[in-house]
Structure 1
Amino acid sequence: MTFQPFVPFAGYSGWTFLSRTLPEQTAAFAASPALDRDMTYFRENIGAVKSADDLVGDFRLLRVALGAFGLQDDMPNKAFIRTVLAEGVSEGDALANRLADKRYRAFSEAFGFGTSLPPKSGTPGFADRILARFERQEFERAIGTQNEDMRLALTATRELPEIAERDLTNDAAWFTIMGNPPLRKIFETAFGLPSGVGGIDLDRQLKTFEERSEQVLGRSDVAQFREPEQVEELIQAYLTRSQLNSFASVNSPASIALTLLQGAV
């Protein structure tokens, strides 16, 4: 029987439980027969992939490859994915570089097509790196079927330290976050930003994110997320505000006030 990850509570109390049980739950999930079959197939066959066409032409390999970057919904869009892979990232006008969603760039860069060099799919350790991402992404997706907030919180713990450790300017790091839909949602919610903030000028968006980060987290630099404590503080702000938003959407101001008063008593 396939293990289904679970979290018994919403909000930060649920996150505390999930964090405490994460090693046991991820290990049980990884032992799933279906997941193990997909990972074994990928490990045994990815080395033979020499081009974007090779990868896109193999349904099982492509499913794992896209899933590792949270792009599994693009499985039907094979022509689009082929272009993202084949053009690579070395040219400024490559499709992956022009897309607002920076996950496509990370996906294309990981495989290394579109250059005169051999693709990275045959290099030592490549399969293990992709499969580690795939396994974690699949676990996050499974959690998301129960609680989307928990899935996004897990995404933050995985991706924010990676971005913070990259050799990027602070502006470039913020733009990377803003171009990653799951991370963007976390920050917009945690910072209490309106849904229309994505429609303003990019430089104004950047300034807004930095200012709100200073106000909510005490720092405006992305490098702060090298520290687990800062990631945790962001997650707490996100989950708290998300829960309040959900509560407010189904309750009138009067009932909210009454509930808060009763809780205080």
Structure 2
Amino acid sequence: MLNSTLYYTMLTRDYSKTLANTAADPTVQRQTAYFQANIDKVKSVDDLLNNSKLYNYVMTAFGLSDMTYAKGLIRKVLTEGVSSSKSLTNTLNDPRYKALATAFNFAANGAATTSSTSLQQTTISNFDEQTLETNVGKTSPGAQMALYFQRMAPTIASAYNILGDKTLLSVVQTAFGLSPSMSQQGIDQQAQTIGKLVNIADLQKPAYLQTIIERFTANYDVNNRSTTSTTPTNALQVSSPGISQSLLLSIASLPQGGS
């Protein structure tokens, strides 16, 4: 596997170009073209759920591809919306569902929901990011986790949001050397521990966020030195959006310090 610190750095050096390369992939282009051509035809929650291509695209875009089977749950999330504190979305304490229900707010906007240019652009942008992260994960799980943390950071309002997301929690645990066994503690005690280590409000600041990510990737690479110190030939055959094969070979030849 590739050193996650170096891979993440290369991906984010010109992140907009990396995303553009992902969007230009023929498979992604076909999926996005179908979404653009058909999303206006969706006038209700059931219209969305009954079109498997659109449904899968949207679920992927909002990080819920692992929940595509749970149509009953998604129907309730989209039907109830976000305005009531008692809605399912607001009781799940998972920013993915809230982002989905906020964007596809059928409860408030009805049949006009999907005609929103902002909704369409947001969904496409999200889909590109999710696809990028998935592809990166095939070569460097650590870099994938770092990209995920970077993307989700603006949605983190409390330590409980971190505790409710296994990837966010793993990043924080790795960055600060916390044992996974901390999950055996009470939830409030865990939140207190994380709150002392991570300034939640400062995650909105790029410099502070970058510091957390750098701590994570450095520790991740140390913890996984046996897999990050060498690069198998087949790893270089994986499609890596935004990075050419020759550049991957250059990255792989760099020492762990990366200079």
Do the aligned residues in 1 keep the contact of 2:2 with 2:139 (CA within 8 Å)?
no
Q: 1:116: how far off?
A: 7.1
Unpaired runs of 5+ residues, structure 2, are 228-256
Secondary structure of 1:125's aligned partner: helix
The match for 1:196 is 181
User: 2:39 & 2:166 partners in 1: Cα distance?
Assistant: 28
Matching residue's letter, 2:183: G
Q: 1:239: how far off?
A: 1.1
- The verdict on how the C-alpha distance between 1:53 and 1:199 changes in structure 2, with shifts beyond 3 A counting, is farther
- The verdict on how the C-alpha distance between 1:61 and 1:204 changes in structure 2, with shifts beyond 3 A counting, is same
- The verdict on how the C-alpha distance between 1:201 and 1:119 changes in structure 2, with shifts beyond 3 A counting, is farther
Do the aligned residues in 1 keep the contact of 2:44 with 2:110 (CA within 8 Å)?
no
Do the aligned residues in 2 keep the contact of 1:65 with 1:130 (CA within 8 Å)?
yes
> Does residue 246 in structure 1 map to residue 224 in structure 2?
yes
Unpaired runs of 5+ residues, structure 1, are 1-7, 165-171, 214-219, 250-262
The match for 2:128 is 135
User: 2:140 & 2:221 partners in 1: Cα distance?
Assistant: 11
Secondary structure of 2:76's aligned partner: helix
Secondary structure of 1:114's aligned partner: helix
The list of structure 1 runs, each at least 4 consecutive aligned residues, that deviate by more than 4 angstroms after superposition, is 115-119
- The verdict on how the C-alpha distance between 1:238 and 1:110 changes in structure 2, with shifts beyond 3 A counting, is same
The match for 1:55 is 48
TM-score (norm. length: structure 1): 0.76
- The verdict on how the C-alpha distance between 1:200 and 1:47 changes in structure 2, with shifts beyond 3 A counting, is farther
Q: 1:202: how far off?
A: 3.0
Secondary structure of 2:194's aligned partner: helix
- The verdict on how the C-alpha distance between 1:199 and 1:62 changes in structure 2, with shifts beyond 3 A counting, is farther
Give the percent of matched residue pairs that are identical in Structure 1 and Structure 2.
Answer: 29
TM-score (norm. length: structure 2): 0.78
Which range moves more in the overlay, 47-56 or 58-67?
47-56
> Does residue 212 in structure 1 map to residue 190 in structure 2?
no
RMSD: 2.5
Q: Select the residue among 66, 72, 80 that pairs with 2:73.
A: 80
Q: Which has the higher contact order (CA 8 A, sep 6+)?
A: 2
